[in-house]
Amino acid sequence: MSDFSISAFSAILSNSQIITGDGLKSRYHHIWHMDEPLQALCVLLPANTQEVSAILKICHEHELPVVVHGGLTNLVGSTETKGNEVVISTERLDTIEEIDTASRTMTVQAGVILEHIHDAASEKNLLFPLTFGAKGSAQIGGVISTNAGGLRVLKYGMTRQLVLGLEAVLMDGTIISSMKKIIKDNSAYDVKQLFIGSEGTLGVITRAVLKLEEAPSSRNAAYVGFDSYEKVVSFLKYMDGKLAGKLSGFELLWKNSYVQMTSTSDAVRPPLPYDYNYYVLIECMGSNATQDQLDFQNLLEIALEEELILDAVMAQSQSDVDWFFRIREDVNNLVDSMKHDQHFDISLPIPLIGEYIAARYESLAQIDGVEQIYAFGHVADGNIHFMIGKKNLSIELKKEIDHCIYDGLQAIGGSVSAEHGIGTHKKAYLSLCRTPEEISLMKTLKKTLDPKNLLNPGKIF
């Protein structure tokens, strides 16, 4: 690297695609740290796969570490840099190349914003079902590389289930392209799966073929109140059974989380009073607006009569649905109340969630330095989020909180990461949810595809 000059990239990129020196002061490694100038050798802005390939060939030859930046919404440090890296930003890989309504697919470059994918699909009366709070800034390449989850995993699965074809570039510049639109392809190894969820450590994703669904013509939502977690689980089974495949979302908020999320402005005013221990946001989507609304209302009324639930309020319009989901998605209403914040997304068996989270609330409250404790999540797929407000950023306090959240997961077959990945923040705890043999195989794959350890080094392992 000592004889390397950034001017080497000028042979393949224009001056506007190369950012160095003072230009780096306006860049950052995460959207929550925009006041911290990016530490990097340079930032490169390729506009196609071939340019990505050429960049990686140069970096491989000169042994330059590479970190890929997309929408910078990752929560586990996967986009952090030390200062010696070449940062590849996918922001100019922002083209929706094709929407094939017959095969119900969309072909996109890696830098396309998730919300733009939603809008483009909607214009064709189709649906890309993956959604979460950061949809307005998250780029699809990052979404794929972290195997993001979100609010509709119950019905449609994680990102992995929604990617039919993929193109990625290895560290030596080799382009691995399988941009097929077919759902069934059982021809030996499904190589694209290596890159989905690998957090940019095995290759740089440049293009993808996404699986679309027919857009639903009805969408109903309600907030429901409970006093016991057992009733939450019973209600989930009841609604999932009665709705016959139409249940698309089942989000759980603990009482104090609900109170905080609905007390900051009229835009997130509470649909239900603060009288219950648990609040569920439920969503179902179907094809008959009038009948679906009647069926949804009838099921809620029966649940009230049979005392499965204590209270419910149903959205009466699309603006009501938007209001209901705004409450759940705007987690900044929690973060803004904290001096410093620490985030978790754990996964655990659904029947054990109530007891496990209650124990964590009790234990966290005993830690000196913890100021706020909020839990919420996608209970139907066993994914619970914690947001912890704390007095300081000391390593000791962080580790004490980490251990409080994580230490009981291994015994119950849980995971330290349900949908956010491992990055740098969780790699010390990977062994709690993966066996030594699994981790050894992961390292073998990493060494095989990136023998010089240049792609997002220091992440995961």
For residue range 11-27, list pLDDT tens digits in order.
999 999 999 999 999 99
Could you tell me the CATH number of the domain that includes residue 174?
A: 3.30.465.10
Query: What average pLDDT does the segment 101-121 reach?
Result: 98
pLDDT band at 34 (very low <50, low <70, confident <90, very high): confident
Query: What average pLDDT does the segment 421-430 reach?
Result: 93
Which of 329, 351, 382 lies at the terminal end of a domain, its last residue?
329
Q: What angle do CA 78, 81, 86 make, to 5 degrees?
A: 105
Please tell me the distance from the alpha carbon of residue 144 to that of residue 140, in angstroms, as a whole number.
6
Please tell me the distance from the alpha carbon of residue 411 to that of residue 199, in angstroms, as a whole number.
27
- Residue 395 is predicted with a pLDDT of 95
In a domain, 454, yes or no: no
Query: What average pLDDT does the segment 319-325 reach?
Result: 95
Could you tell me the CATH number of the domain that includes residue 231?
A: 3.30.70.2190
Q: Indicate the pairing of strand 278-286 with strand 370-378.
A: unpaired
Residues of the domain holding 354: 332-441
- Residue 331 is predicted with a pLDDT of 87
Whose tokens are 């950023």? That residue is: 393
Residue pair 128/164 in contact (Cβ under 8 Å)? The answer is no
Please tell me the distance from the alpha carbon of residue 81 to that of residue 84, in angstroms, as a whole number.
8
Q: Which residues of 435-454 are buried (b: 16+ CB within 10 A; e: fewer)?
A: eeeeeeebeeebeebbeeeb
- Residue 294 is predicted with a pLDDT of 96
Q: Are residues 185 and 125 in the same domain?
A: yes
- Residue 8's CB is within 10 A of a number of other CB atoms, namely 14
Q: What is the mean pLDDT of the chain?
A: 95
Minimal CA–CA distance to 124: which of 110, 103, 151, 154? Answer: 103
Q: Are residues 119 and 182 in the same domain?
A: yes
| Cβ neighbours of residue 131 closer than 8 Å, sequence gap 6 or more | 114, 118, 150, 151, 152
Report percent pLDDT > 70 for the chain: 99
Which of 308, 329, 350 lies at the terminal end of a domain, its last residue?
329
User: Which residues lie across from 388 on neighbouring strands?
Assistant: 342, 373
Q: Which residue has the higher pLDDT, 77 or 214?
A: 214
- Residue 2 is predicted with a pLDDT of 54
In a domain, 455, yes or no: no
- Residue 430's CB is within 10 A of a number of other CB atoms, namely 17
In a domain, 459, yes or no: no
- Residue 74 is predicted with a pLDDT of 86
Q: Are residues 271 and 361 in the same domain?
A: no
In a domain, 11, yes or no: yes
In a domain, 169, yes or no: yes
In a domain, 447, yes or no: no
For residue range 118-157, list pLDDT tens digits in order.
999 999 999 999 999 899 999 999 999 999 998 899 999 9
Could you tell me the CATH number of the domain that includes residue 13?
A: 3.30.43.10
pLDDT of residue 1 exceeding 70, the answer is no
Q: Are residues 360 and 415 in the same domain?
A: yes
Could you tell me the CATH number of the domain that includes residue 358?
A: 3.30.70.2740
Query: What average pLDDT does the segment 320-329 reach?
Result: 94
pLDDT band at 280 (very low <50, low <70, confident <90, very high): very high
- Residue 367 is predicted with a pLDDT of 97
Q: Are residues 113 and 190 in the same domain?
A: yes
SS3 call for 376: strand
SS3 call for 407: coil
pTM of the model: 0.93
Q: Which residue has the higher pLDDT, 278 or 78?
A: 278
- Residue 35 is predicted with a pLDDT of 83
Q: Are residues 106 and 179 in the same domain?
A: yes
Which of 304, 329, 354 lies at the terminal end of a domain, its last residue?
329
In a domain, 451, yes or no: no
Q: Are residues 84 and 105 in the same domain?
A: no
- Residue 455 is predicted with a pLDDT of 97
| H or E stretch covering 167 | strand 163-169
Q: Are residues 114 and 136 in the same domain?
A: yes
Please tell me the distance from the alpha carbon of residue 369 to that of residue 395, in angstroms, as a whole number.
12
Q: Are residues 353 and 435 in the same domain?
A: yes
Q: Across the beta sheet with 42-44, what order do the strands follow?
A: 18-19, 42-44, 86-89, 66-69
SS3 call for 115: helix
Q: Are residues 104 and 208 in the same domain?
A: yes
Report percent pLDDT > 90 for the chain: 92
Q: Indicate the pairing of strand 175-178 with strand 218-226.
A: unpaired
In a domain, 449, yes or no: no
Q: Please tell me the number of Cα atoms within 13 Å of 135 on its side-chain side.
A: 18
- Residue 428's CB is within 10 A of a number of other CB atoms, namely 13
pLDDT band at 227 (very low <50, low <70, confident <90, very high): very high
Q: Are residues 302 and 324 in the same domain?
A: yes
Q: Are residues 338 and 274 in the same domain?
A: no
SS3 call for 206: strand
Residue pair 40/384 in contact (Cβ under 8 Å)? The answer is no
Query: Based on the structure, what is the number of domains in the chain?
Result: 4
Query: What average pLDDT does the segment 88-116 reach?
Result: 98
pLDDT band at 32 (very low <50, low <70, confident <90, very high): confident
- Residue 454 is predicted with a pLDDT of 98
